[in-house]
Amino acid sequence: MAVQPVVYGEGERPPRGNYARANEDYTCAQNWAAYSAQDHDTYRRLYERQTAQLPGLACSAFIESLPHLGAKDRIPRFEDVNEHLYKATRWEIVAVPGLIPEEAFFALLARRKFPVTDWIRKPEEFEYIVEPDVFHDLYGHVPMLFNPQLADYVQRYGEGGLKAARLGACEMLSRLYWYTIEFGLIREAGALRAYGAGILSSAGELPYSVNSPEPQRRPLDLLRTMRTRYKIDSYQQTYFVIDSFQQLFDMTEGDFTPLYEQMRGMPEFAANASGD
């Protein structure tokens, strides 16, 4: 085996995916021919259900870019997506067998290569899956990579992640990824809309994140965000909101080293904590 399977958090089930297929950088061939008719049908049903919810909940950049994924009735071939994506923002998607280590993940992002898990959930996991699959990665993440500002932000995140790994600050930076790229909200024309992949690929959390009175929604602040823990097995209790992708890009432009040092002496916040 060239690489080892990866686990984040605790769980009873071993990591899914055939890691024996992976190269040293954890990438592998998509092997599109291996998908069954059931696999394609699962993707089609997920795509239809999620797309029907987008109006009034998803940000305009996502809705406008979604057609670039191509096929709706089957799992797309990654090379077909890349033909459009590279022309738009010089990004490419690469297949991986499942979750990959943080530094390998950062290294791919820094090279404008987004890792997409190549297997899809079983029909009995239609409503909920623990690990990200091809639908979450492809549908949730890739349309936003057609947006030039967010595409540059994701590359910058990868470069910053490699530095954070050297400084022992990956946990702090991972929270910024979670609350922006995975579970970020943006304000458009005075209304909340989702741009985070974890929201956009979830049938339940998409309306919850935008409309429910239960969670708190706070303006994105780097110190507060990187000190806030998060839940991986439930809807978020806190969302951080930006006013534009340019704001997000500008906010994360500087060197984070002084922020990491400042935060080491500061308390963390629970996922549902209020106040500053």
Catalytic residues: 136, 141, 182, 201
DSSP 237: S
d(CA 115, CA 62): 19
Would you give the end-to-end CA distance of the chain in angstroms?
47
Closest CA to 101 of 18, 4, 244: 4
**Any idea which residue has 């987008």 for tokens?**
54
Those residues with Cβ within 8 angstroms of residue 114's Cβ, 6 or more apart along the chain or in another chain: 91, 92, 93, 94, 108, 137, 141, 142, 145, 154
Give CA angle at 162 (157, 164), nearest 5°. Answer: 85
d(CA 50, CA 64): 15
d(CA 93, CA 82): 6
Amino acid at 193: R
Cα radius of gyration (the chain) = 18
Q: Residue count of the chain, please give it.
A: 276
